[in-house]
């Protein structure tokens, strides 16, 4: 899978009440008489400037004030002014100096500091009460209830039970959340949810509320599948139509989850692979936390049409995917780990496959977004072979990793893998036990693209995604048909193979010959990378002039490009159905036109 360098997230100066950082709810009445608001005034990478503003919101004067907060390990105050700042470990305390302790009703005062490290304050208190002026001092929010258990599952209902939460003043009731949305408030510790769809997956969590109406953290999630046949199949003609959504696409490409709605693509796909999680120290981890779950969306950018707020527990791509699934319940989302850039960590992961699988499930099932993901995709480029780095973990490592993932995730999660499309003898598909691993996986995304490109700077020019061979192909076996045939010969069922489609082209410059096989002087210019361009650009900038091997090419001026079109995709889908394949997948959404031209071609072709 391609993974180009992503843009860094831009840090914005925010002035937010600290309650927003700790998720405090608004109780029935306020009892504090002051608020404290934090703002990051500057950021220079290794450090930052911060400012606190203390305001008397009561009706009588304050004679002194004390602000307390926690920093994550590695973040600290290096200097401060207009307050006396001390710490005990990661807990920090700021007290007024002699001249600014007295505050009349409605008056405010600020103090500042310089800090080092990446963290932000949390768990703020002002004079022992909440910094937002709404919580009753000493009245803690309730604890998280126990993870619900499911019983009495039918076609249309499920009974949920959970262990009680605790609270210093007592628990009043519980909110029951289905797929992140509240469906009921109950006083006991059981609830029967009805009116569900047959054969459908749901995720449930529970949240306690105390007598002051404060809500505590949500419980762990339980996944439930109702009985019966929902009458549906994976997609058109029972086939999978899966697209990759890139985490970093929200930056330079300005491509967001809502684009799947406005393009019409959301109604035509069956699955999304969210790319990519990282693999570090033998474990799965979130890569870009800002894009994944911190970035705030305005109403016009949001799938739901509702703006993110400063105090909501989940934002970013994950929350937008949650909203997409609410709007299009048929879509399943998998968290994809690895890719070209992050595959170097799989070798270490394979040394303790069980521990790796456990770490992956902890990320996929994080309580903040457990309802978003329906499975995991592993994009290891390449087991026991070379990609950006070379792996020497042995031919059994990939099978062992797949087995461990299935054991950890169980039968109700999707577990898939993106694999090489190298159909050559002794090539990458022969380096690992893909046949043996298939029993643990729902399907393979076979990367039947990027066979040829400007890593051969002077050519010969050749289509990067040929379906079949043709006279003069530079490398025998570098075709979709060869890759699929090899995997079938290894015992992989055809229904577990998805054909890969690239929503982009690869091209050379300095080319005088229109037909494939010409010489070049180097890579053609591209918007993001030399030798690479999106279909949505190429269809107009360098229209198709011919086809070869079941795909298209274009010669315009001195440039030569190859890419798939709706017409060639139709041919590839017809071939995939004749081969009995499970469907198709593509890299990636943002290369398509604004009206989802290529997604539609795959959907129509699989019908």
List C-alpha distances in Å: 167 to 184, 215, 253.
Answer: 21, 10, 47
Cα–Cα nearest to 280, from 328, 349, 222: 349
Cα–Cα distances in angstroms (integers) from residue 506 to residues 13, 454, 462, in the given order:
40, 7, 9
Q: Any idea what the Cα angle at residue 322 is, between residues 234 and 290, rounded to 5°? A: 125
- DSSP string spanning 219-285? ---EEEE-SS--S--SSGGG-EEEEEEEGGGGSTT---THHHHHTSGGGT-SEEEEEEEEEETTEEE
Q: How far is CA 132 from CA 59, 116, 288, 294, 551, in A?
A: 16, 25, 29, 21, 61
Integer CA distances (angstroms), 84 to 66, 79, 224, 334, in order: 10, 10, 53, 49
Question: Smallest Cα–Cα separation from 208: which of 246, 177, 247, 254?
Answer: 177
Give dist(CA 108, CA 65) in Å, integer. Answer: 11
Record the tokens describing residue 53, joined without a space. 């503003």
* Core vs surface per residue 277-287: b (16+ CB within 10 A) or e: bbbeebbbbbb
Contact 442, 416 (CB under 8 A): yes
* 148 DSSP assignment: P
Over 291-343, what HEC string results?
Answer: HHHHCCCCCCCCCCCCCCCCCCCCCHHHHHHHHHHHHCCCCEEEEEEEHHHHH
Characterize the bridge pairing of strands 47-56 and 108-116. Answer: antiparallel
521 neighbors 454 (Cβ within 8 angstroms) = no
Residues 6+ apart with CB under 8 A from 42: 13, 48, 49
Q: Which of 68, 247, 381, 588 is catalytic?
A: 381
Residue 512 burial (CB count, 10 A): 10
Residues 126/130/133/134 CA torsion (nearest 10 deg): -170
Residue 114 to residue 133: CA distance in whole angstroms = 26
Distance, CA of 546 to chain centre: 38
Tell how strand 158-161 and strand 190-193 pair up: antiparallel
- Exposure class string for 470-507: b at 16+ Cβ within 10 A, else e: beebeeebbbbbbbbebbbeeebeeebbbbbbbbbbbb
What does the alpha-carbon distance between residue 460 and residue 437 come to, in Å, rounded to a whole number?
A: 36
CA distance 514 to 509: 12
381 catalytic per annotation: yes
CB 53 within 8 A of CB 133: no
CA quadruple 327, 329, 331, 334: dihedral sign = positive
What positions carry a catalytic annotation? 381
């Amino acid at each position: 899978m391609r993974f180009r360098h992503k843009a860094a997230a831009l840090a914005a100066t925010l002035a937010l009440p600290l309650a927003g950082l700790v998720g405090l709810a608004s109780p029935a009445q306020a009892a504090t008489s002051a608020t404290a608001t934090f703002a990051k005034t500057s950021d220079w990478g290794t450090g930052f400037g911060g400012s606190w503003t203390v305001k008397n919101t009561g009706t009588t004067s304050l004679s002194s004030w004390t602000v307390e907060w926690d920093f994550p390990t590695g973040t600290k105050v290096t200097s401060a002014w207009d307050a006396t700042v001390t710490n005990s470990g990661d807990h920090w305390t700021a007290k007024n100096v002699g001249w600014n302790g007295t505050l009349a009703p409605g008056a405010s005062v600020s103090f500042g500091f310089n800090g080092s490290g990446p963290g932000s304050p949390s768990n703020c208190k002002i004079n022992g009460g909440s910094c937002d002026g709404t919580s009753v001092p000493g009245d803690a929010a309730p604890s998280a209830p126990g993870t619900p258990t499911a019983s009495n599952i039918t076609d249309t209902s499920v009974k949920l039970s959970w262990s009680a939460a605790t609270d210093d003043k007592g628990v009043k009731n519980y909110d029951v959340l289905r797929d992140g949305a509240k469906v009921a408030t109950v006083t006991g510790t059981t609830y029967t949810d009805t009116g569900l769809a047959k054969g459908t997956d749901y995720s449930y969590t529970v949240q306690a509320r105390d007598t002051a109406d404060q809500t505590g953290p949500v419980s762990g999630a339980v996944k439930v599948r109702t009985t019966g046949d929902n009458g549906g199949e994976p997609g058109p003609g029972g086939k999978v139509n899966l697209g990759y959504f890139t985490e970093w696409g929200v930056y330079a490409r300005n491509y967001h989850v809502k684009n799947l709605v406005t393009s019409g693509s959301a109604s035509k796909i069956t699955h999304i692979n969210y790319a990519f999680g990282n693999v570090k120290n033998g474990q799965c981890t979130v890569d870009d936390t800002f894009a994944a779950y911190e970035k705030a969306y305005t109403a016009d950018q949001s799938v739901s049409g509702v703006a993110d707020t400063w105090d909501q527990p989940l934002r970013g791509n994950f929350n937008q995917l949650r909203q997409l699934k609410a709007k299009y319940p048929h879509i399943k989302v998998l968290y994809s780990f690895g890719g070209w850039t992050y595959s170097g960590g799989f070798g270490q992961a394979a040394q303790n496959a069980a521990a790796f699988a456990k770490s992956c499930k902890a990320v996929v099932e994080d309580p903040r977004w457990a309802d978003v993901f329906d499975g995991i995709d592993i994009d290891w480029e390449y087991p026991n072979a070379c990609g950006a780095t070379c792996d020497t973990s042995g031919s059994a490592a990939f099978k062992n990793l797949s087995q461990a993932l299935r054991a950890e995730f169980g039968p109700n999660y999707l577990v898939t893998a993106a694999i090489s499309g190298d159909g050559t003898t002794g090539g990458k598909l022969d380096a690992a036990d893909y046949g043996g691993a298939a029993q643990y996986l729902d399907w393979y995304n076979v990367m039947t693209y990027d066979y040829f490109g400007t890593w051969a700077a002077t050519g010969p020019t050749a289509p990067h995604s040929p379906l079949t061979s043709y006279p003069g192909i530079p490398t025998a076996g570098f075709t979709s048909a060869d890759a699929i045939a090899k995997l079938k010969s290894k015992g992989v069922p055809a229904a577990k193979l998805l054909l890969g489609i690239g929503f982009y082209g690869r091209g050379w410059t300095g080319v005088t010959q229109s037909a494939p096989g010409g010489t070049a002087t180097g890579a053609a210019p591209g918007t993001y990378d030399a030798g690479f361009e999106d279909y949505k650009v190429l269809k107009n900038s360098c229209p198709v002039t011919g086809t070869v091997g079941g795909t298209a090419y274009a010669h315009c001026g001195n440039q030569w490009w190859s890419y798939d079109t709706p017409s060639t995709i139709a041919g590839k889908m017809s071939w995939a159905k004749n081969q009995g394949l499970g469907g198709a997948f593509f890299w990636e959404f943002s290369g398509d036109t604004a009206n989802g031209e290529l997604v539609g071609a795959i959907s129509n072709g699989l019908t």
